[in-house]
Amino acid sequence: MQESAVATVLLILTGLVTFQGLRREEYQERYAFDIDGILVGKQYDRMISSGFLHANWIHFAFNMIGLLSFAMTLELVLGVPKMILLYFGSLIGGSLLSLYVHRNHANYRAVGASGAVSGILFASIILFPDKGISFVGLDVEFPRWFMAILFIVISIWGIKTGGGNIGHDAHLGGAFAGILLAMGLAPDLAFNNIWIIALTLLPIGVFILLIIRDPAVLMIENYWGNSGGKIVQMNKPRPSKIQTIDDILDKINKEGIDSLTKKEKKLLDDFNGKG
């Protein structure tokens, strides 16, 4: 079976970067998606570089199987330049939503290509809704509309509850970007399937607008526009700089200066005027 040239190059590049990140902790730390690194350190490259890192090889394999499963048909229809734009646009879309949802979580970190792969998946669903979905290595086919709805429900539930060590926000943001990009890159094909656009774009768009207009949705259980519910620790206040430095000094006192990460050492140096 012919494979996508874009997906093959991305797989190789992602594998090399993942290998480097798993081999060197400081490399993983520098290029991972990190809220403080992006918002405080202005290291915006993390929003892309994090998509080439993975927590382990199983994580890597899962994302790359998803990419290879849908990339070839999209590449044939869109061509290589648009396929590259779709991938990186979806990656950035996932990072942007994740950045917004976790903007007050100073210590939030993430890695993985799942935002980009979600965009590839949903672009495929929008452009070819009548096809079933099958994954590389699985001889099972699912209706695309069913997979789309299941994906959206799980992602929104995951963002709302904060459950699991999964970047549901990056998944949803990548899917949203993938839908919009598919509409822009192949409008004739996309708008022939307006029903699937409505079925996917509307619930994601409404949820994103809801959390922008009413952030309490992310902080209160069973809160969908009312005042009742139990407050959950979704958006923890960002610690002050003084508090952060105090925590670093406490760590030095307990474990020694060698226990500090590079990020903690840099914060301490900046505080002391050495940065």
Q: What share of the chain is helix, strand, coil (3-state, %, to 5)?
A: 70, 5, 25
pLDDT digit string, tens, across residues 86-119: 999 999 999 999 999 888 888 889 999 999 999 9
pLDDT of amino acid 119: 96
Between 72 and 144, residue with greater pLDDT: 72
Q: How far apart are the first and last CA of the chain?
A: 53
Structure confidence at residue 1 (pLDDT): 52
- Angle ∠(225,227,229) on CA atoms, nearest 5: 100
Neighbours of 95 (CB within 10 A): 27
CA distance 67 to 199: 23
Output DSSP code: residue 224: S
Report which of 44, 56, 46 is spatially closest to residue 15, judged by C-alpha positions.
Answer: 56
112, 113, 114, 120: CA torsion to nearest 10: 180
Amino acid code (one letter) for 252 = I
The answer to whether residue 27 scores a pLDDT higher than 70 is yes
pLDDT reading at 254 higher than 80: no
- In 3D, which of 96, 111, 116, 100 has the Cα closest to residue 174? 116
Q: What is the pLDDT of residues 124-178, one digit of tens each?
A: 999 998 887 765 555 667 788 888 898 999 898 888 776 666 788 999 999 999 9
Residue 151, token pair as written in the block: 């994906």
Q: How many angstroms separate the CA atoms of 93 and 115, rounded?
A: 7
Domains of the chain, each with CATH number or no CATH: 5-218 (1.20.1540.10), 241-271 (no CATH)
